[in-house]
Structure 1
């Protein structure tokens, strides 16, 4: 375009005298010359502005730059490693700290606004960290332009001089966690986020970046799951972590070595004491730790991602029991507990369907129990799984009803048929007017939503009578039977049929 304008200008300048002579207009040449000069001056201004723009706009690091993150343009792990190595060489023995920040629950943000917008949010968080750390220039030791490194994804890191301020890294972590996370705007929408931090100290906890990173991330993990409130790495965290890994490795072998045992607790009609169902409960006869209840290893198995194989094993044993009950012409449902991780497994529905078909058991005899918290992590996916299970004909129950936080509108969306009132409300029902009022309100809510109500933890006949008066129709607890071996359930039911008349 520029060459065309220059060519036009030259033509105008050289043709102007001829045009003026032909038109007998002495001013023509002058007008053409002025126009040509104006065009040349405009071209010069455009070229100058373009040059200034190229200088003033900072160039984003090229994707081939191995020392910067491609998304945020911040120094990456490789650059941070250089900084740590240089510190170890030039400042050896002088105290420093690695502070790692994680953007909490970013998977939910990603799902809500999409990957492209989530990347924009990460870039904005990176810029906020940079701006906030300008005032901490004395402490943040990356380079002149950057005070924070982007380790990729949702992780950022700072390298801090800890030689003068003993708790400076912890103070800064608190500032970042509580002062930085204000809502960010993405296409006009306010997006909330949270930061979580973990700190490892040089040289106390390691002298190489990978050593320090592992320990800072371990702090993050323990804080995230509520196992520790310490910001700075503690040696016992590693011991606890190793103990967890060892226990989970042993759990993988426990099924094959028959260390896991299933118990069952009957669920009865409160009006005529007919056995309606049995809840399957797992126990671990550990060779060194002794008998372990579900609370001692199931939350850990869920956290470590090994819960689904265990659930699948329990499901098969439960459905096998249903087949035995049918052979004995004993009509009874069996309930199995599901975890939040189970609901996220794509093959869960297929597994249940295959097992029911394999043992020729009607789906309506199987009850799957889940806690309200199981729906929090991935509510849409969990809800889809529940609908698919409901379409199979499986009965669904919401466990620990009354201790959760869902709205009534959300509860209506769940394809559940039962709710189980938590034993914390039931246990002192006959002694506490407050417990009685709360339990009565919970039962009323469940009945209004057309759910069958099951009370857990019944131990006294007074409690049973109060529950009946409130409209609760089913219950389980020590009043009827403590949990016992699964293999004994069929003979127990046969015996119960003969003895319940004299109950």
Structure 2
């Protein structure tokens, strides 16, 4: 997680938190404003109600006084009735004010009530007195009534005025508070607006960042991280898109598949950094050698592809391929080290040789491997080569099944000791009884087994069959050494000695009667590992033989370190034994070398008596070839052995291949 991203996230969170706080303050101010307005309205309503009762009391007192004045001026029955009716009319208002006036108006109402009660008493006295007779008490009541009325009206008016003033003060205070709240709201709204803008900016920044990240992710998902060119996913999409366009326009779509030559050597020798630099240089050269509308892609490892829309013919495609290889091949500088760059290129064209996107890629792959095998540089798709590839692919699946169900058979070729011409062993040769193609020799399926990882189960099956047959012969009176040829993959398998030991125990076989033949290619792959496996096999008592000696590159050095018992001279040297002086000299040198290392020598490919005689003269111990016998099925071999008096022979060597 980058520091910049963490800062942006912190800013965004702070802005959002502040905005939420501002909104909360606004909400709080709104609630406070509503509460204040409600309190003000309640207070004003209460004061107005009090003021109304004070005004009503004042009005009643004034009415009483006015009716009294009328009564004093015109003493009539109607005026007397009016006066009697209004006496005490303000008492209800004063009682209400006393009960609801609060701490301020209740005492005032009580004091006024006391004065009003006296005033009402005086009025009743005046109504009940006989005014036709002058008396000092009546005059006193009149004076007192007038005075009390004036006092009562004045007090009532003062309370009305006071309440109106208090209402004005409440309203003024409420207005002041409202202005303050409004100012606070304005400030908070301004702050919130700034925060909203900040949040909007942050959100836009995040959106832009997200869009950029999405674009980068799309680019990374469709492009190779090392070279920056398209990857397999984008290539597949573009191939289908270009084929759709080609179907509409009638143009062709060309496709190249390239595999670098000797790339592994660069990685192993100079390191992966140099390999990466080489891949980047190859991508640059490929992109520079094709048109802009073409697509260059890396499929993985050192495999590249080029999609070329608008190609008219196979000839044009091959010509473009030549130009691509010309631009690609050459010396590249990798951090001061010059390496030679070359590639094998397979070409296919839609719709001429391929009819779908999948077949276009598949056919280019077939053509590329044809170019690599034949060192052709460029190869256009050949349907016949594809049929061979399909045949090899089908062989792998069928061979796996053949091993499981026991379709393999062993043939045996005799080996004869040259000193007395007697049988001393047999080389077992595997055959495949194919259900539709008949009996297949090893060259038809061993390469497929080596490439598909089937050599271990195949070798185990041959070992089992050979030891089983050896046991059967032994029960029939024929005790004969036998051996199995082991490929490179098996020789590098640390579990091989244990499996061989279990098979020897299973069949009760003598380890000295089993010889395992190895090839030089197994030694070259991993000498240390191969030596460890051979040493364990030798410790079991098994004899070891090096097959096809002289056809590899490093036999001399391996002869000094490998725990060997036997050396077999390849037939390509044997055939020259009677035709060239150098052939005789080479075989003589090999025999002397083997004897110096205390190894027995087997000469393969002995097909005539002259070859047999020369090999015997040069000191070979054992001969093998068509002169003696072709490879035979187990029963036929048993008959051949009986005819050659092999029943009495014990303790020689045989090979299985």
Instruction: Decide: shared fold, TM above 0.5.
Output: yes
> Does the 8 Å CA contact 1:99/1:169 hold for their aligned counterparts?
no
Instruction: Give the structure with higher Rg (CA).
Output: 2
> Does the 8 Å CA contact 2:608/2:627 hold for their aligned counterparts?
yes
Distance 2:293 2:319 in 1: 11
Partner residue, 2:280: 127
Distance 1:296 1:277 in 2: 26
Cα offsets for 1:343-366 (capped at 9, x unmatched): 344543332122122222233322
> Does the 8 Å CA contact 2:524/2:554 hold for their aligned counterparts?
no
Q: Label 1:62 to 1:318 Cα distance change in 2 as closer, same or farther (>3 A).
A: same
- The structure 2 residue matched to 1:249, chosen from 387, 397, 421, is 397
SS in 2 for 1:318: helix
- The structure 2 residue matched to 1:79, chosen from 234, 239, 243, is 234
- More displaced 10-residue stretch of structure 1: 477-486 or 61-70: 61-70
- The structure 2 residue matched to 1:313, chosen from 461, 477, 481, is 461
Partner residue, 1:296: 444
Q: What does residue range 17-56 of structure 1 map to in structure 2 within 5 Å?
A: none
Partner residue, 2:243: 88
Q: What does residue range 403-422 of structure 1 map to in structure 2 within 5 Å?
A: 403-406=551-554, 408-422=556-570
Partner residue, 1:219: 367
Q: Does 2:322 correspond to 1:167?
A: no
How many matched pairs?
430
Q: What does residue range 181-192 of structure 1 map to in structure 2 within 5 Å?
A: 182=332, 184=334
Distance 1:413 1:305 in 2: 28
SS in 1 for 2:628: coil
> Does the 8 Å CA contact 1:427/1:457 hold for their aligned counterparts?
yes
Partner residue, 1:14: none
- More displaced 10-residue stretch of structure 1: 285-294 or 453-462: 285-294
SS in 1 for 2:627: coil
Distance 2:254 2:419 in 1: 66
- More displaced 10-residue stretch of structure 1: 249-258 or 388-397: 249-258
> Does the 8 Å CA contact 1:280/1:334 hold for their aligned counterparts?
yes
Q: Label 1:322 to 1:104 Cα distance change in 2 as closer, same or farther (>3 A).
A: farther
Cα offsets for 1:166-223 (capped at 9, x unmatched): 423330354367x2465745xx877777533222223334465443222222223344
> Does the 8 Å CA contact 2:517/2:545 hold for their aligned counterparts?
yes
Deviation at 1:315, TM superposition (A): 0.5
> Does the 8 Å CA contact 1:314/1:336 hold for their aligned counterparts?
yes
SS in 1 for 2:415: strand
Partner residue, 1:45: none
Distance 1:109 1:347 in 2: 32
Gaps of 5+ in 2: 1-214, 650-657
Q: Label 1:345 to 1:369 Cα distance change in 2 as closer, same or farther (>3 A).
A: same
Distance 1:441 1:183 in 2: 45
- The structure 1 residue matched to 2:610, chosen from 437, 462, 468, is 462
Cα offsets for 1:310-348 (capped at 9, x unmatched): 221111011223334555675532121222333344543
CA RMSD of aligned residues (A): 3.6
Partner residue, 1:102: 259
- More displaced 10-residue stretch of structure 1: 190-199 or 212-221: 190-199
Distance 2:373 2:624 in 1: 31
Cα offsets for 1:95-132 (capped at 9, x unmatched): 3322122234656665667xxx42x2342122212332
Distance 2:333 2:565 in 1: 39
Partner residue, 1:50: none
Q: What does residue range 348-497 of structure 1 map to in structure 2 within 5 Å?
A: 348-377=496-525, 381-406=529-554, 408-427=556-575, 429-490=577-638, 492-497=640-645
> Does the 8 Å CA contact 2:414/2:624 hold for their aligned counterparts?
yes
Q: Does 2:483 correspond to 1:335?
A: yes
Q: Label 1:389 to 1:220 Cα distance change in 2 as closer, same or farther (>3 A).
A: farther
Deviation at 1:287, TM superposition (A): 3.9
Gaps of 5+ in 1: 1-59, 143-147
- More displaced 10-residue stretch of structure 1: 126-135 or 455-464: 126-135
Q: Which one has a larger percent helix, Structure 1 or Structure 2?
A: 2
Distance 1:344 1:124 in 2: 32
> Does the 8 Å CA contact 1:461/1:479 hold for their aligned counterparts?
yes
Distance 2:507 2:365 in 1: 46
Q: Label 1:110 to 1:128 Cα distance change in 2 as closer, same or farther (>3 A).
A: closer
> Does the 8 Å CA contact 2:318/2:347 hold for their aligned counterparts?
no
Distance 1:482 1:436 in 2: 24
Partner residue, 1:323: 471
SS in 1 for 2:497: helix
